[in-house]
Amino acid sequence: MRVVLSGGGTGGHIYPALAVASQCAKEFPGSEFLYIGGKRGLESSIVPQQGIPFEAIEITGFRRKLSFDNVKTVMRFLKGVQTSKKLLKEFKPDVVIGTGGYVCGPVVYAAAKLGIPSIIHEQNAIPGLTNRFLSKYASTVAVSFEGSEKAFPAARNVIYTGNPRATTVYAADKQRGFESLGLPSSSSVVLVVGGSQGARAINQAMVEMAPLLKQSEHLKFVYVTGDRYYASTVEAISAKLGELPANLQVLPYVHNMPEVLACTSLIVNRAGASFLAEITALGIPAILIPSPNVTNNHQEKNARALESAGAAEVILEPELTGQSLYASIERVMSDLRRHSAMSTASRALGKPDSAHLIVGEMERLVKHQ
């Protein structure tokens, strides 16, 4: 199968596309891929590292306020469509997959105009502007949250697949996760992640919470700060306590996140859609602190979906302190029945076969074109 992938800006758009490519390669050996991304997005560095051919186009998003920049965006979109058509004609894909971000706009639109079957995947409970626009042109819209199908009234076909990143994480080796952290396999790990770039509010809460960790010596805390907060976090905690608590590891970044997640008993994190797909595939109870700095407040909508299912507790950023975070962690980890119920609820939301479902839809579209 020949597949064009597009998705960019953040890992939340890129990694699902790569998960689809990996699954497609397993089910259809010999498949060939081309990734069309943005020049400035993370995809320009991440995708080539995976050995997938990469082509870049120039594209930006619309500003929500009236601005002359929107005129420039329209011009870039039209140019992006032209470039995408050229790349698609040269590569001759059987199907095009868009996983979000502005760059998908011209790529999927070009595919529709050329009569090439296409799928767009929406990670969030509330769809973004690009996917709402593309839903009128794509052959199929795949959604991550059951019930969000109704957000695409103009779509020809909408299916619930979950997020393909879940498939990647589901197969991760738990023991290798413990080994990478230098912890016994019997450890109860509380993993705190501020996102790939880190999060100031979570960082402050962790510094405030550090003195309380001696009350929970049976738990192993791992805090992934993001590179920019690593040095300041270690310095702030050490200044407060003299040294880091014995049951706390502070890391700038984790390169084997699927394996670390596999050995995690409780996750504290933002509420990005790809990360939620990963933790529900593994049935990890969560304390979610949605970022308020996202379009349409979609992270809170994502978090509330898990909360209403009993899989997570939610702390909004204005309510986040070291004390409130520690209290929430203790509430979950000190009550085995609560922890077990949250784990069961989380796993019920997971779709570990998500990538397989999307590849199956790709196959269906190719056969019926």
Mean per-residue pLDDT over the chain, rounded: 92
Q: Any known ligand binding at 124?
A: yes
Label residue 66 by pLDDT band (50, 70, 90). Answer: very low
Q: Tokens for 58, please give them.
A: 């120039």
Q: Report whether pLDDT(67) > 70.
A: no
Report which of residues 132 and 70 the model is more confident about. Answer: 132
Q: Any known ligand binding at 12?
A: yes
Query: Under CATH, domain 2-163+352-368 is a member of which superfamily?
Result: Glycogen Phosphorylase B; (3.40.50.2000)
Give me the pLDDT at residue 195, please: 67
Q: Any known ligand binding at 196?
A: yes
**CATH 3.40.50.2000-classified regions of the chain:** 2-163+352-368, 170-349
Report which of residues 187 and 78 the model is more confident about. Answer: 187
Q: Tokens for 89, please give them.
A: 């004609």
- Please state, for a pLDDT cut of 90, what percent of the chain lies above it: 75
Rounded distance, CA 166 to CA 277, Å? Answer: 5
**What's the pTM value of the predicted model, to 2 decimals?**
0.82
CATH code, 170-349: 3.40.50.2000
Rounded distance, CA 39 to CA 51, Å? Answer: 17
Q: Report whether pLDDT(59) > 80.
A: no
CB-based burial label for 325 (10 Å; 0-12, 13-18, 19+): buried
**82-91, 163-172, 323-332 — which is least confidently predicted?**
163-172
Label residue 70 by pLDDT band (50, 70, 90). Answer: low
Residue 293 dihedral angles phi and psi, to the nearest 5°:
-100, 45
Give tens-digit pLDDT for 179-233.
999 999 999 999 999 866 678 899 999 999 999 999 999 999 999 998 889 999 9
Q: Any known ligand binding at 299?
A: yes
Bridge pairing between strands 140-143 and 158-160: parallel
Q: If you average pLDDT over residues 155-160, what whole number do you get? A: 95
